Structure 1
Amino acid sequence: MKNCFSVVLGLSLSFIVQAGEISIPSYINTLETSRVGDYIFRYVLFSTESDFPCIRTELLDPINNRALVDNLDVCAYDGKSFSEGFAAVSFNNPRITESAFEFELQLFALRGPEEYNLDCSIEISGAKLGSLECH
């Protein structure tokens, strides 16, 4: 009976460890949080190799149990999705300033040698996130 219990316990623990290995954080490259004004700004850079090759930005209210105030998912540029409109995408040098979230966006065309390097930002103004601006 003791050996049977050990085997069942061992299988249960093995399942828990394996389940932990398939968690969503494996799709996350970077997650950072910072205070911006009266709110908490958080961004998540998802792996560009995942099914969700995006940047998620969120404004949270620290007084109201970190309630979501505004959010913006960046999953496309110039009308083309990152997953289907480009051969490859890279998010580089993300940084949070007092009024914006800034990063470098590197895009590789589906056909041809074209590579685009853009400086992008999302304005943070009070309880609102602006739209994606790149140049």
Structure 2
Amino acid sequence: MRILHPILYMVLGLVCLSSAAAAEFEYKRVYQADAGKIDKYIVRYLRSFDSPCVRVQSLLPGGKGTILKEKELCSIDGKSFLDGFTQVDLKKGEFKEGKLILTFEIMPLDPAPEFIKRCIVPFRDGTPQDLVCETIAP
């Protein structure tokens, strides 16, 4: 019986590790997406039922969908989409003048009116950076 306990713990540990490693992005859970060109890169953004974050990916040109760089955007002005707001709704994503522009409708935690933020996703050598936002409507 003494040998059985360590073996049981090892098996449980391996199961936990394998399930954590298998937590890949599930494209079948995407409900909002678009793609466009920024500089020499094909860029797409995705929203999934599994996360409130916006996933931005740069694809390798001519790479048949190979992801070069990606970033999950999960906060605005230092506040998390998970617990910094009551609700964060991506109203519009557009590729305009070589930029990715995301427009969010945000419901704050405090009893205050909803507001709209227009955010640009800057890129550095094909790598998406943190959102740069401005409030456009109270």
CA deviation string 1:66-113 (max 9, x = no partner)? 332222211112222112111111111210124211021121111312
Choose from 37, 43, 46 the match for 2:45: 43
d(CA) in 1 for partners of 2:79 and 2:122?
22
Paired AA for residue 77 in structure 1: I
Matches within 5 A, 1:54-73: 54-73=53-72
Aligned to 1:111: 110
d(CA) in 2 for partners of 1:104 and 1:131?
15
Aligned to 2:121: 122
SS at match of 2:130: strand
Aligned to 2:32: 30
Unaligned 5+ segments in structure 1 are: 1-23
Asked whether the equivalents of residues 103 and 117 of structure 2 are also in contact (C-alpha less than 8 Å), the reply is yes
d(CA) in 1 for partners of 2:36 and 2:131?
19
Paired AA for residue 45 in structure 2: Y
Kindly report the root-mean-square deviation, in angstroms, between the aligned alpha carbons of the 2 structures. 2.2
Give the aligned length: 109
- Change in Cα spacing, 1:61 to 1:25, as seen in structure 2 (3 Å) is closer
Matches within 5 A, 1:57-96: 57-96=56-95
Does 2:52 correspond to 1:53?
Answer: yes
Q: Shift in Å at residue 126 of structure 1?
A: 4.4
Asked whether the equivalents of residues 99 and 124 of structure 1 are also in contact (C-alpha less than 8 Å), the reply is no
Aligned to 1:21: none
Relative to the length of structure 1, the TM-score reads 0.67
Aligned to 2:16: none
d(CA) in 1 for partners of 2:38 and 2:56?
13
SS at match of 1:112: coil
Asked whether the equivalents of residues 71 and 129 of structure 1 are also in contact (C-alpha less than 8 Å), the reply is yes
